[in-house]
Amino acid sequence: MKQKFTINGMSCNHCVATVEKAINELPGIDKVKINLKKNEGIVKFDESQINAQQIAEKVTAAGFDTEVV
């Protein structure tokens, strides 16, 4: 499944790397693409291992306001 997220609070490439690292630590993640300028991320993942809400919670725990779009 592919899901889009709004991610607020990112201001630099270090923020992008932090978000990518946090998401990639989760099980079932296939691909993560974060767009700093659009304040969004697109995550491809295996629904049998994880859901969009769990991904959003991980990003929030990393320090960024996140919303499933």
User: How far is residue 21 from each of residues 26, 50, measured CA to CA in Å?
Assistant: 9, 16
Mean pLDDT score of the chain: 98
Question: What is the spatial distance between Cα 48 and Cα 39, in angstroms, rounded to a whole number?
Answer: 27
Domain 2-68 is found in CATH 3.10.20.30? no
Q: Measured on CA atoms in the order 53, 6, 31, 22, is the torsion positive or negative?
A: negative
Q: What is the pLDDT of residues 30-62, one digit of tens each?
A: 999 999 999 999 999 999 999 999 999 999 999
Model confidence, pTM: 0.95
Domain boundaries, given as residue ranges, for the chain:
2-68
Alpha helices in the chain (DSSP H): 13-24, 52-61
* pLDDT score of 69: 95
